[in-house]
Amino acid sequence: MAPPPVPSTDASDFSASQAATLVNDPNQVPTTPPARDLSERGQAALARKHSARLDRALRAEAAERAQYCKLLLLGTAESGKSTVLKQMKLIHTGNLLDVAPDGAALPSATNSVAMLPSTTSTGGGVGESGHMGQADWVIVIRKNLLDSLALLVQYQSEHTAAKPWATPDGETAAATLRSMISKLQANPSLFSVSADERVRFVAAVQALAADATLRDLIRIGGQFQLLDSADAFIQDAATILDPMYSPSNDHILLARQPTANITETKIVTEQGYKYLVYDVNGSRRARHTWVQFFDDVLCILYVAPISSYDQPLPPSDMLPRTAGFDDTANLHRPTGPMSRLLDSLLVFEQIMRHPLLKTTAAIVFLNKIDVLRAKLADPDAARVADYFPDYHGPQEFDPVCHYVSNRFAGPVRGQTARKLYIHLTWATQTQQIQVVLNTVNKILIKLNLAKVRFGCGLRAS
């Protein structure tokens, strides 16, 4: 007979920081009794009562959490982890936001559960707690648009390799943007920007968008850290800079808000399976913080940017690798130059070797296939073989994807106890990723059932 299911997350998972939250909750009983009015015995009795109430609350919270299976979303910076999480929320809750218009947290709200040291945090003020409402996304999207424009105009003027603007209109538009952009960047809420200024700015963006040089710059944007979503936001500049702008789901999916701290999101599927999804900051300086979440994981969801085979690392990731989890110095490294995709592969190898994850199942999302397709169709784009010298196939989508899938399968080859699944994804395209996420859901149910069989999984409630 199969043993009864045992919760996969034990009470020790319940962290001191959560206990602290309860203690500091104004709705809880006061932590210290009013000393002057009570005898010592009275005070002790009150303290015991308080402590028992706290214990009960902690046990109830721990029992609640024990019904959830843990999923880790891992991958290097900007690979698309948070975008996949947004799509998971959308598929299972129908909602991308964490905060309702009245300010209340929504049931699947994303909460910060582990902080980076404040000196290295990249929170930037918006959604610091992990809670992102409509108003937060307006600011993020406008910042994405303005920062992208600033980067494009600056790159064109500072790099001799960049062509001049193709038309006089483009030249004038770039000059207008240069003179106005810092004011808008400082005021993404647009409060202190007049209607005239806004109209002039939008007209300049639209004129620049029609200039052939801008299209060329966007095409090679990956080389100078331009956002993948820059083009979409530039095309929609008039909407985004409208004072009444309210972002669509598509815009929220395209938005880039680096995950400052590790977040936890509760997802309950239609079948009743409950998951705690941990989304991490993928930058090199933050990778050591992942390890504290490596115990008792049902499955790793690893997101790798397959389009970035030729893209330089973000400047903050060009630091020497640190000792410990991210120390890949001893790994066999192919002789090609470092790129974001190679970095992602090396980090994946490292995760697969980690002692706490020796048998943990993994689902790899080879993400940004839309960008890869466009790149491979561009005769001027870098050749895959220049970055991965052991690739001898043509510069075409299917063989390149096959090669990269094989590279990701490499670290677990021969490990019969480990399950590895690899999917090609376009995380910003809801229909494509939702088909993949439905398959992922089925895989997770199977993994769950296997765990139940061995006495450590969860049954759907």
List residues forming the annotated binding site for GTP: 78-83, 228-229, 253-259, 367-370, 427
**Token pair 């808008």 in the structure block, residue:** 184
CB of 295 to ligand GTP, least distance (A): 21
Which part of the chain contacts ligand GTP (CB under 6 A), choosing from 51-59, 103-111, 187-195, 251-259?
251-259
Task: Say how far apart CA 352 and CA 294 lie, in whole Å.
Answer: 11
Q: One symbol per residue from 312 to 351: x for binding ligand GTP (CB under 6 A), - otherwise; what is it?
A: ----------------------------------------
Q: Does 148 bind ligand GTP (CB under 6 A)?
A: no
Exposure letters 23-39 (e unless 16+ CB within 10 A, then b): eeeeeeeeeebeeeeee
Judged by CB under 5 A, the residue of 8, 9, 79, 82 near Mg ion is: 82
What's the min distance (Å) between Cβ of 169 and ligand GTP? 28
Q: What is the DSSP letter of 99?
A: B
The one of ligand GTP, Mg ion, none whose footprint includes residue 256, by CB under 5 to 8 A per kind, is ligand GTP
Chosen residue from 8, 9, 79, 148 binding ligand GTP by CB under 6 A: 79
Residue 370 touches which member of Mg ion, ligand GTP, none, C-beta under 5-8 Å by kind:
ligand GTP
Task: Identify which of 114, 76, 122, 454 has the alpha carbon closest to the alpha carbon of residue 278.
Answer: 114
Going residue by residue from 240 to 259, which x/- string records binding to Mg ion, judged by CB under 5 A?
-------------------x
- The whole-angstrom separation of Cα 319 and Cα 395 is 31
Q: Choose between 10 and 370: whose C-beta lies nearer to ligand GTP.
A: 370
d(CA 288, CA 177): 40
Q: Which is nearer to ligand GTP, 136 or 228 (CB)?
A: 228
Are 66 and 294 spatial neighbours (Cβ–Cβ below 8 Å)? no
CA gap 410, 311 in Å, rounded? 22
Is 287 a binder of ligand GTP (CB under 6 A)?
Answer: no
Q: Where are the alpha helices (DSSP H) in 73-167?
A: 81-93, 134-158
Q: What is the dihedral of CA 24, 30, 31, 37, to 10 degrees?
A: 160
Q: Which does 371 bind (CB under 5 to 8 A by kind): Mg ion, ligand GTP, none?
A: ligand GTP
Q: Which of residues 257-296 bind Mg ion (CB under 5 A)?
A: 259
Closest CB 363 distance from ligand GTP, rounded Å? 15
Q: The sheet that has 262-268: what strands, in order across it?
A: 110-114, 262-268, 274-279, 69-74, 299-305, 361-367, 420-425
Which range touches ligand GTP (CB under 6 A), out of 76-84, 109-117, 153-161, 410-418?
Answer: 76-84
Which segments within 243-397 are labelled E, that is strand? 262-268, 274-279, 299-305, 361-367
In the bound state with ligand GTP, the residue whose beta carbon lies nearer, of 149 and 173, is 149
> Residue 342 CB: number of other CB atoms within 10 A?
20
Q: Which is nearer to ligand GTP, 207 or 254 (CB)?
A: 254
Q: Does 427 bind ligand GTP (CB under 6 A)?
A: yes
Pull the structure tokens for residue 228. 């993948």
The residues in 83-112 that bind ligand GTP, with binding defined as CB under 6 A, are 83
**Residues marked as binding for Mg(2+)?**
82, 259
Distance CA 347, CA 349 (A): 5
Mapping DSSP to helix (H, G, I), strand (E, B) and coil, where does residue 173 land? Answer: helix
- Per-residue burial over 434-443, b = 16 or more CB atoms within 10 Å of its CB, e = otherwise: eebbeebbee
> Which residues within the stretch 369-398 sit at the binding site for ligand GTP (CB under 6 A)?
370-371
Residue 128 or 370 having the CB closest to ligand GTP: 370
Binding site for Mg ion (CB under 5 A): 81-82, 259
Interface residues toward ligand GTP, by CB under 6 A: 75, 77-83, 227-229, 253-256, 258-259, 281-282, 303, 367-368, 370-371, 426-428
